Structure 1
Amino acid sequence: MKKIRILLFSLTAIIVVSTGIIMYLKIFKKSEIPECGTHDLPSCGNIDLTENQKKGKEVFNSNCAACHKLNSKITGPALHEVDSIVFVNWLTNKKHKIDSSKVEILAIDYHKTVFSKTLSKEDIAHLIEYCHSK
């Protein structure tokens, strides 16, 4: 009877210690395969951006992202396939804005600011390069 207790105690101890080691290794061991979304990896659908495109992304996120997405229309149109000449004219020339007489009736004007006052030509070039990168 005493031998059976010692044997059961030994087996229980081995099982508990083994389970503890396995759980420790699973919890604290770094995965060798990064999960999608943790890093900007081309294999996850993200592309590597050039320095100019990264600057353009910063400009986009701080000035455009509230109303625009690159590939889908939300408040404003998608900017991915906008021609660069149209893009520059829209950002810098007040004549290319929405018809203000109709906008005033609706009390909505999405582009009251001419972005040439807030964005440099270099910023606009980086923005266009970023928008055309995806």
Structure 2
Amino acid sequence: MVVFITIMMMLFYSYLFPSSEEKETAWCGVVDTIVEISKDKREGRKLFNANCASCHKLDKRSTGPALRNINLDSLSLQKYLNSEQHSQRFPQFTTEQLNEILKYTKD
């Protein structure tokens, strides 16, 4: 009976004692790497996963280079994404969306 109660407490611990700070856990780039995503980076993560993750990872080379801490501002990134050098064009991105993606790729 004690074992059962202990297991139930372990299973429902987060429900019974909720954390005061809400964090979202996300899989990022490499399997087995868990990264805590703060609220201000969630939009950037969504945009990255929807548009960039098929060719890029954050911490390792994939089809394209790793994008962790890329050294570009949003205007330079927008120019690059719509140039001949980049394999796919992304004219739909606004400056704000590119800023969110850049914020997500920073440590």
- TM-score bucket (shorter structure): 0.5 to 0.7
Using CA pairs below 8 Å that are at least 6 residues apart, which structure has the higher relative contact order? 1
- Unaligned 5+ segments in structure 1 are 1-20, 34-38, 99-110
Partner of 2:2: 22
2:82 matches 1:88? no
Identical-residue share of aligned pairs (%): 23
Larger relative strand fraction: 2
**Structure ID, larger Rg:** 1
Give the Cα–Cα distance (whole angstroms) in 2 for the partners of residues 118 and 89 of structure 1. Answer: 12
- Unaligned 5+ segments in structure 2 are 15-23, 26-33
Larger relative helix fraction: 1
**Shift of residue 81 of structure 1?**
2.8
SS in structure 1 at match of 2:35: coil
**Shift of residue 91 of structure 1?**
1.5
Give the Cα–Cα distance (whole angstroms) in 2 for the partners of residues 47 and 88 of structure 1. Answer: 27
Q: For the aligned residues, what is the CA RMSD?
A: 2.6
SS in structure 1 at match of 2:4: helix
**Shift of residue 27 of structure 1?**
2.4
- The size of the alignment, in residue pairs, is 88
Give the Cα–Cα distance (whole angstroms) in 2 for the partners of residues 48 and 83 of structure 1. Answer: 21
Partner of 2:55: 67
Partner of 2:94: 120
